[in-house]
Structure 1
């Protein structure tokens, strides 16, 4: 990405005034030989991401409109276009497992209709700190999970106590649990295949892909022990 000279000057002024990173390190990590504060490792970043997955409850599901004709009177020029929509999720699988978020899929919802028509899907999350201390949103972690949806079996729903877990995250979702009289719904997991992470500004946070084995190897103890920016102690880059 190339920034215009005027924007570079503005960013340089803001850097001096408010301790923001230098312009060239906003969107990427500095070279390894550049003196800077310690940047969290890939595994440490995976731990942060797994804690965000555990604490947050809302994300953005991104899918692509199919090119086939639809009965919903969709504009013809959106075929093949991406759309991102808010949806509920819960960290309802064993935390020593693979880190696949649980989703209550409503069949009539656009995201799930697009998936049924063959679309890829991603879930994007960002950290919302509980602290009211002013902070740049660009300095806070966010990431996207790339994968596919897989329906949970009745045994998995029961053994993992999915209903109780999900309703704890989303009490209002009790109105559209599977078997409700309003909409057809089912329990699915987003099977994570790739993780793209932006930990904040590039001079103090890792930006890049988190390998799947790092994502899946995070332990429950690590998730409980780490603190994110705005969460008291043990946070990186706060």
Structure 2
């Protein structure tokens, strides 16, 4: 059985109503509560969000341009406009859930913060499968908070540099003390979490209380499985593109 790629949009519409929900169990399972599909709880969603924070490496920092800027020739009409730019992060303080960021004050996001902007970090799960899928069906979320600089003692005691470079080897060239740019270690102190787990009829969409975010254990994070983590065929089962594992293997 081989599917014509041109038919995939039609198949997705036809099969969307049959998509199961999922939570923090193995991704190849079809999740249900005995009577039907089960929408993950707020805590299960918090676990999945924390796993994304642990696995992913790049997010989008969103800030707002100031109305005036003394050192840059910006268009006059961008003041107050939001801008989202990709940046590295790492989960170097897993007990808190606060992402670690290597701040370069010369970068636009951090200039905006210095000028008084709020800041947030948006993340999404990039599932490791090769087959077609809908981005609307996979989790994404936003962390609202503020930047706080690490003390020298914290950087040393928590081995921040080694943690960050393990996730981002290329960042070794612009660590604090480099000869190219001024840089420093900061944490995004999380204050609010907004979660979109996927389609609303099978995933939680809404705010995750900070206490739920902070209560997630490392053991829960390690045991959780996101869509596509377990096998390349599981996602196609969920979309109804194949009826069973054997049929997937025959494709």
Q: TM-score normalised to the size of structure 1?
A: 0.84
Partner residue of 1:106 out of 98, 104, 107: 104
Cα pair 1:152 1:187 within 8 Å, conserved? yes
Distance 2:165 2:184 in 1: 14
Report the CA distance between 1:14 and its aligned residue: 4.8
1:137-148 to structure 2, matched below 5 A, reads 137-148=135-146
- Give a deviation string over 1:125-163, Cα, whole Å, max 9, x none: 000011213211110000000000000001111111110
Cα pair 1:21 1:201 within 8 Å, conserved? no
1:1-238 to structure 2, matched below 5 A, reads 14=10, 17-21=13-17, 37-93=37-93, 95=94, 97-232=95-230
Which blocks of at least 5 consecutive residues in structure 2 are unaligned? 1-8, 19-34, 239-251
Question: RMSD between aligned alpha carbons?
Answer: 2.1
Secondary structure class of the residue paired with 1:195 = strand
Report the CA distance between 1:37 and its aligned residue: 1.7
Distance 2:42 2:182 in 1: 40
Report the CA distance between 1:68 and its aligned residue: 2.2
Equivalent pairs, count: 211
Distance 1:15 1:37 in 2: 20
- Give a deviation string over 1:95-145, Cα, whole Å, max 9, x none: 2x2200000000100000000111000000000011213211110000000
Secondary structure class of the residue paired with 1:146 = strand
Which blocks of at least 5 consecutive residues in structure 1 are unaligned? 1-12, 23-34
Measured at CA, do residues 207 and 36 of structure 1 come closer, stay the same or move farther in structure 2, by a change above 3 Å?
farther
Secondary structure class of the residue paired with 2:106 = coil
Secondary structure class of the residue paired with 2:136 = helix
Distance 1:116 1:176 in 2: 20
Secondary structure class of the residue paired with 1:20 = helix
Distance 1:125 1:16 in 2: 24
Distance 1:117 1:99 in 2: 26
Displacement over 4 Å in runs of 4+? 13-17, 235-238
